[in-house]
DNA sequence: AATGAATGAGGGTTCATTCAT
DNA sequence: AATGAATGAACCCTCATTCAT
């Protein structure tokens, strides 16, 4: 495995990671609107907010990088899950890994929700996710295991239910119960009544 | 029916409404964080932000009043819908009226989502909605028409799907198709597979 | 007795008095800096701050009129006190009537202190008072009952001691004791040791 | 002697001092109510009021620091004066050093008077000063050199006379004459007639 | 004479960003 | 690469004052 060539030194990469970690903590903790450079710098143990500006062009770039980081962590988590190759199995794996990730990294999901609601490029990102999931649903339909559903709309539902769970799980709800219910609801939808 | 006695003059009420209208537009347009008094005043055609402060004690009161207004419009809309009294009928009516309201007032729903995420009393409000819907689901189970679902979690799913639709419908998706799919998905979940 | 010809109607005069009364109450209550037109109008039972602006050219005129009113009340109070004609008697009468006035009208004195500290014309007003009292002291010296004192500086001391008493008497100190001590201190000073 | 450990850098300390100096000038010049950040920044030669907020949490902290500074300067001045240990000598030293300090730093005393009148802890500060001086007077009574005076009330008189002198000395009166008269008046009072 | 509404200058404060070192 | 200091635009809010009715 090889690092992407970003033209960054090791030190620079480490500092960015340190700042992004702090940003995640702070955003999850006090909310995006109150996640100022001052608070992030303090949480990261930096001596000046100037250092953040030094490593990121502006606030938008920091938030972009933060979201990128969260998504990367999320992808790594999901990809680690075994998948039996069927559309139904993949869908269940998707649901379960999502819930498990939330349970393991509540801050990440909190950040994702908050930054997305404030980001310009959000719609694109969301649409890409939806399209990917819709593709899976189409496969399921062609395999004959799913009912006559609208792939895009249904994918949206599945993602929305997941987003809603973030709140509940953030309040330390019963994770296994959430996972079971989420999988059951998803299967009910895709298989039709 | 009698208007609530607020001790406000006609002019005052009209101005407040005008400002709240502008607030709704601006929040839906640029997001809550960028919905400054300056932007709201400009959108409302006011000569200065001072007029907003004149009619609302502070930013929080304006946002409260805005949410209150959105909820009132929403309630009026939903209550106008006939209901056959059964749990299943009520649930369908809930889903359909929600989608229809979004189609008619996309800005309202956008505001609701955003302000709630930033408001102190948010969790309570959300929880109350969830509880009410959960109660309906329980009734359906006791009527024997719904499956073995967790009422609270399922209510959360139904509300989350609705929230997700706001985005899509805001981008002028096919409202009737959304309504059909939303109702179908909801019924699939509550009736079990 | 005849009213000064101010060109004001009866109603106008009454309104001004009403506003000035409220100003005195509010200034004594919350302090000059927080004595806004809004608070004064509310205390006066007026429906709008516009009415204050209607009757007074600007804030400075209201404060000027308020001080003028306080001083008039004070003069009337002091003049009502019998005076044996001697410089010593007049000085004692001055001291005693000052303390008595404070006890009877603490708000008036509070206003006087606060507004003076903020008023442009204060120095003049103060100097005039000092000069008058100094004149009395000179008379006492020529009568041979006072010692070799500097009239202006001594007059300043006597007035300063009075000003200081306002604070104490405002906190409901023992008024008769204050009066005795004030007279005694004043006599000590003017008669030399 | 060692500097208090405030955790401030040299630059920061210097800037704070510069701002405090400007605050003293402005307050003495235009009065506390008109001593805005804008005026203080201009007087200090700063580019914006933001720099004041950068160095002081808020207006209250600036005023607190300003009073603290004035009191520190005053204490240093008074402590430098030799004292023969007797109550009478201490009282004379108190009077003289006060007048001398006013002559040397008229702005300081003006600030003290104005800020105190607006500060929360004012009453306490004033009362403490009065009590200290009253203690000295009690000592003088027990040494048999002072007459039958009320210590607290008399201490109040002595302080009030001093406060009154600030005005006169601010207008460049004859300082030595003021000092002589102040000492004479004070001794007259405490020794009885 | 009086009112309620509107105005706009100015207040303190926050914060991302810049810059000299 | 990093720091602390400085900047200035923007924010919400207050308030005396103006104005149409």
In whole angstroms, give the CA distance from residue D190 to residue C188.
9
Spatial distance between the Cα atoms of D144 and D151, rounded to a whole number of angstroms: 14
Task: Return the percentage of chain B with pLDDT > 90, whole number.
Answer: 76
Residues A190/A149, Cβ–Cβ less than 8 Å = yes
Task: Report the range of poorest mean pLDDT among B16-30, B170-184, D91-105, D163-177.
Answer: D163-177
pLDDT of res. A1: 41
User: How far apart (Å, rounded) are the C-alpha atoms in residues B151 and D154?
Assistant: 78
Q: How far apart are CA C43 and CA C35, in angstroms?
A: 11
Cβ B167–A191 below 8 Å, yes or no? no
Contacts 24+ apart (CB under 8 A), D127-134: D129/D159, D130/D155, D130/D156, D130/D159, D131/D155, D133/D94, D133/D158, D133/D159
Q: What per-residue confidence (pLDDT) applies to B82?
A: 84
Provide, as residue numbers in chain A, all residues whose Cβ is less than 8 Å from the Cβ of B137: none
Q: Which of chain E's bases lie under 7 Å from a protein CB?
A: 1-20
pLDDT for the residue A2: 43
Q: Searching chain D, which residue's CA lies closest to the CA of residue C183?
A: D189
What gap in Å lies between CA A185 and CA B186, rounded to an integer? 9
For residues D51, D55, D61, D62, the Cα torsion angle rounded to the nearest 10 degrees is: -50
> What is the least distance, in Å, from the CA of D60 to any CA of chain C?
15
State pLDDT tens for residues D133-186. 999 999 999 999 999 999 999 999 999 999 999 888 877 679 999 999 999 999
Separation of CA D64 from chain center: 13
pLDDT at residue A3, rounded to an integer: 47
Of D residues 155-184, those with CB within 7 angstroms of nucleic strand E are none
Would the pLDDT of B2 be above 50? no
| All domains of chain A in start order, with CATH | 8-56 (1.10.10.60), 59-191 (1.10.357.10)
Integer Cα distance of A183 and A161 in angstroms:
10
Nearest to residue D160, comparing CAs of C160, A67, A3, A154? C160
* Chain B residues near residue A164 by CB distance under 8 angstroms: 156-157, 159-160, 163
Q: What are phi and psi of C67, to 5 degrees?
A: -65, -45
- Neighbouring residues of A136: CB distance < 8 A, sequence distance ≥ 6: A87, A90, A91, A94, A155
Give the integer Cα–Cα distance in Å for B6 and B18.
17
Residue with tokens 């000569």: B47
Confidence of residue B80 (pLDDT cuts 50, 70, 90): confident
pLDDT of residue D52: 98
D105 DSSP assignment: -
Q: Based on the number of CB atoms within 10 Å of its own CB, is D171 exposed (0-12), middle (13-18) or buried (19 or more)?
A: exposed
Contact yes or no for A9/A92 (Cβ under 8 A): no
* Spatial contact of C190 and C147, defined as CB atoms under 8 Å apart: yes
Gap from B41 CA to F9 C1', Å = 18
Residue B81 pLDDT: 86
Q: How far apart are CA C161 and CA D101, in angstroms?
A: 20
* pLDDT at D1 (0 to 100): 41
Which has the closest alpha carbon to B66: B105, B17, B4? B17
Task: Report how far residue C183's alpha carbon sits from residue C96's, in angstroms, rounded to the nearest whole number.
Answer: 7
Over the stretch D42-62, which tens digit does the pLDDT of each residue have?
A: 999 999 999 999 999 999 999
Q: Which residues of B touch A32 (CB under 8 A)?
A: 33
Instruction: Please give the structure tokens belonging to residue C10.
Output: 């009866």
Q: How far apart are CA C107 and CA C31, in angstroms?
A: 11
Count of Cβ atoms closer than 10 Å to residue C173 Cβ: 15
Question: What mean pLDDT do residues C96-102 have?
Answer: 94
- Length of chain C equals 193
pLDDT of C99 > 70? The answer is: yes
End-to-end Cα, chain D, rounded Å: 45
C105-147: per-residue pLDDT in tens?
A: 999 999 998 888 777 667 778 888 899 999 999 999 999 999 9
Chain A 13-42 residues whose Cβ is under 7 Å from strand E: 34-38
Q: Under 8 Å CB-to-CB from A22, ≥6 apart: which residues?
A: A40, A41, A43, A44, A45, A46
What pLDDT, on the 0 to 100 scale, is given for residue B182?
97
Q: How far apart are the first and last CA of chain C?
A: 46
Q: Find the nucleotide nearest A8 (Cα to C1′).
A: F1
- Interatomic CA distance for residues C116 and C119, integer angstroms: 5
Cα gap B48→B30, rounded to integer Å = 20
Joined tokens for residue A127: 């649409």
Share of chain B above pLDDT 70, in %: 94
Question: Using the CA of D37, which nucleotide's C1' is the nearest one?
Answer: E12
Measuring CA to CA, which residue among D19, A44, D27 is closest to residue D8?
Answer: D19
User: Is the CB of residue B80 less than 8 Å from the CB of residue B55?
Assistant: no
For the record, the structure tokens of D153 come out as 């009330």
- pLDDT tens digits along C24-77: 999 999 999 999 999 999 999 999 999 999 999 999 999 999 999 999 999 999
Q: With pLDDT > 70 as the criterion, what percentage of chain D qualifies?
A: 94
**Protein-nucleic contacts, chain B 7-46 to strand E, CB < 7 Å:** 9, 11-12, 15, 46
Q: How much is the pLDDT for A4?
A: 53
Protein CA A52 to sugar C1' E18 (Å): 12
Judged by CB atoms closer than 8 Å, whether chains meet at C156 and D168 is answered as yes
Using N-to-C axis directions, what is the helix angle for C151-170 and C87-104, rounded to 10°?
30
pLDDT band at C171 (very low <50, low <70, confident <90, very high): confident
Average pLDDT, chain B: 91
Q: Do chains D and B touch (3 or more CB pairs under 8 A)?
A: no
Arithmetic mean of pLDDT, C144-156: 95
Separation between Cα atoms, residue B168 and residue B175, nearest integer Å: 9
C-alpha dist (Å) from residue C140 to A136, B180, C99: 109, 104, 22
Query: Out of A24-33, A56-65, B144-153, C107-116, which region has the weakest mean confidence (pLDDT)?
Result: C107-116
pLDDT over threshold 90, residue B87: yes
Q: Which nt is closest to the CA of C48, judged by C1'?
A: E3
Nearest nucleotide (CA of D61 to C1'): E12
3-state SS, one letter per residue, for B152-168: HHHHHHHHHHHHHHHHH
pLDDT in tens, A81-101: 888 889 999 999 999 999 999
């Amino acid at each position: 495995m090889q690092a992407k060539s970003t033209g960054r030194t090791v030190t620079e990469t480490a500092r960015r990671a340190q700042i992004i970690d702090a940003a995640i903590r702070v955003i999850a903790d006090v909310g995006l609107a109150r996640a100022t450079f001052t608070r992030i710098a303090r949480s990261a143990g930096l001596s000046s907010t100037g250092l953040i500006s030094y490593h990121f062009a502006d606030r938008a770039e920091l938030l972009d990088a933060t979201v990128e980081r969260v998504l990367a962590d999320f992808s790594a988590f999901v990809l680690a899950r075994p998948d039996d190759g069927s559309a139904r199995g993949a869908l269940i794996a998707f649901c379960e890994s999502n819930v498990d990730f939330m349970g393991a990294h509540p801050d990440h999901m909190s950040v994702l929700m908050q930054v997305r609601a404030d980001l310009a490029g959000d719609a694109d990102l969301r649409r890409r996710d939806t399209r990917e999931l819709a593709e899976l649903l189409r496969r399921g339909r062609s395999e004959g295991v799913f009912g006559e559903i609208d792939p895009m709309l249904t994918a949206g539902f599945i993602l929305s239910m997941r987003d809603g769970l973030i709140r509940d799980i953030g309040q330390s709800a019963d994770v296994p119960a959430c996972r079971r219910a989420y999988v059951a609801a998803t299967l009910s939808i895709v298989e039709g009544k």
